[in-house]
Amino acid sequence: MEGVSICLFLMLFIFIFLNKINAAELDIISDSQFLTEADTLVSETRIFELGFFRPDNTENRYLGIWYKQDTSRTVVWVANRNHPLPGVSPLVFKIVDPGILGIFNNNTMIWSSNATMTSPNATAKLLDTGNLVLIDQQRKMTWQSFDYPTDTLLYHMKLGKDYSRGIEWGLSSWKSGQDPAPGEFTLRTDLDGYPDDKLKQGALVKFRGDPWRNLLVTGSSKFDKNLTLIYSAVITEKEKSFKFYVENTSLISRLTLTSSGELQNWVWVEDSKNWKLSLEYPIDMCDTYNVCGAYGTCQVDWMQQTCTCLDKQKFVPRNQKNWSGGCVRRTLLDCKNGSDGFIKYSNLKLPDTQGTWLNMSMNLEECKAKCLQNCTCMAFALPDDTLGGKGCVLWFNDLLDMRQ
> In the predicted model, is pLDDT for residue 20 greater than 70?
no
Write down the pLDDT at residue 255: 93
Write down the pLDDT at residue 301: 81
Write down the pLDDT at residue 229: 76
Rounded to whole angstroms, how far apart are CA atoms 54 and 112?
19
**Nearest one of 279, 284, 317, 287 to 302, comparing CA atoms:** 284
CB burial of residue 219 (10 Å; 0-12, 13-18, 19+)? exposed
Rounded to whole angstroms, how far apart are CA atoms 308 and 306?
7
Rounded to whole angstroms, how far apart are CA atoms 390 and 165?
28
> In the predicted model, is pLDDT for residue 279 greater than 90?
no
Helix, strand, or coil (residue 11): helix
CA dist list (Å): 100 to 34, 134, 144: 13, 8, 11
- Residue 253 in contact with residue 155, Cβ under 8 Å? yes
Q: Which residue has the higher pLDDT, 356 or 213?
A: 356
H/E stretch holding 241:
strand 239-246
* Most confidently modeled range among 90-104, 155-169, 333-347: 155-169
- Which of 81-90, 109-118, 233-242 has the least mean pLDDT? 109-118
Given pLDDT bands bounded at 50, 70 and 90, which one contains residue 23? low
Write down the pLDDT at residue 19: 39
The CA-based diameter of the chain, rounded to the nearest angstrom, is 111
> In the predicted model, is pLDDT for residue 74 greater than 50?
yes
> In the predicted model, is pLDDT for residue 5 greater than 60?
no
Report how far apart the first and last C-alpha atoms of the chain are (Å, whole number): 85
Helix, strand, or coil (residue 148): coil
> In the predicted model, is pLDDT for residue 225 greater than 90?
no
- Which of 18-22, 81-85, 104-108, 151-155 has the least mean pLDDT? 18-22
Rounded to whole angstroms, how far apart are CA atoms 35 and 65?
14
Q: Which residue has the higher pLDDT, 310 or 19?
A: 310
CA dist list (Å): 151 to 108, 156, 262, 347: 27, 15, 11, 31
Q: What's the per-residue H, E or C state across 282-308?
A: CCCHHHCCCCCCCCEEEEEECCEEEEE
- Kindly report, as residue ranges, where domains of CATH 2.90.10.10 are found in the chain: 18-148
> In the predicted model, is pLDDT for residue 177 greater than 60?
yes
Q: Which residues pair with 54 in a beta bridge?
A: none
Q: Does domain 150-283 have CATH number 3.30.1330?
A: no
Q: What are phi and psi of 122, to 5 degrees?
A: -80, 160
Looking at domain 18-148, its CATH superfamily turns out to be Bulb-type lectin domain (2.90.10.10)
Q: Specify the amino acid at residue 303.
A: M
Helix, strand, or coil (residue 373): coil
Q: How wide is the angle at C-alpha 224 spanned by C-alphas 219 and 229, nearest 5°? A: 50
Rounded to whole angstroms, how far apart are CA atoms 329 and 131?
51
Write down the pLDDT at residue 67: 96
- Which of 140-154, 170-184, 189-203, 204-218 has the least mean pLDDT? 204-218
**Nearest one of 168, 148, 152 to 160, comparing CA atoms:** 168
Rounded to whole angstroms, how far apart are CA atoms 271 and 185?
33
Q: What is the mean pLDDT of the chain?
A: 87
CA dist list (Å): 58 to 134, 177, 257: 30, 11, 22
**Nearest one of 134, 123, 107, 111 to 64, comparing CA atoms:** 111
Rounded to whole angstroms, how far apart are CA atoms 279 and 270?
18
Given pLDDT bands bounded at 50, 70 and 90, which one contains residue 292? very high
Given pLDDT bands bounded at 50, 70 and 90, which one contains residue 10? very low
Q: List, for residues 361-382, the tens digit of each pLDDT value.
A: 999 999 999 999 888 999 999 9
Rounded to whole angstroms, how far apart are CA atoms 16 and 180?
35
Q: Which residue has the higher pLDDT, 351 or 117?
A: 351
Compute the Cα dihedral for 199, 288, 178, 22 and give only its sign: positive
**Nearest one of 128, 130, 132, 349 to 256, comparing CA atoms:** 130
Which DSSP state fits 84?
Answer: -
CA dist list (Å): 361 to 135, 164, 199, 288, 390: 37, 22, 29, 33, 5
Q: Which residue has the higher pLDDT, 188 or 346?
A: 188
Rounded to whole angstroms, how far apart are CA atoms 320 and 276?
41
Write down the pLDDT at residue 244: 86
- With residues binned 3-state (H G I as helix, E B as strand, rest as coil), the percentages for the chain, rounded to 5, are 10, 40, 50
Given pLDDT bands bounded at 50, 70 and 90, which one contains residue 226? low
Q: Which residue has the higher pLDDT, 346 or 351?
A: 351
Q: List, for residues 158-176, the tens digit of each pLDDT value.
A: 999 999 999 999 999 999 9
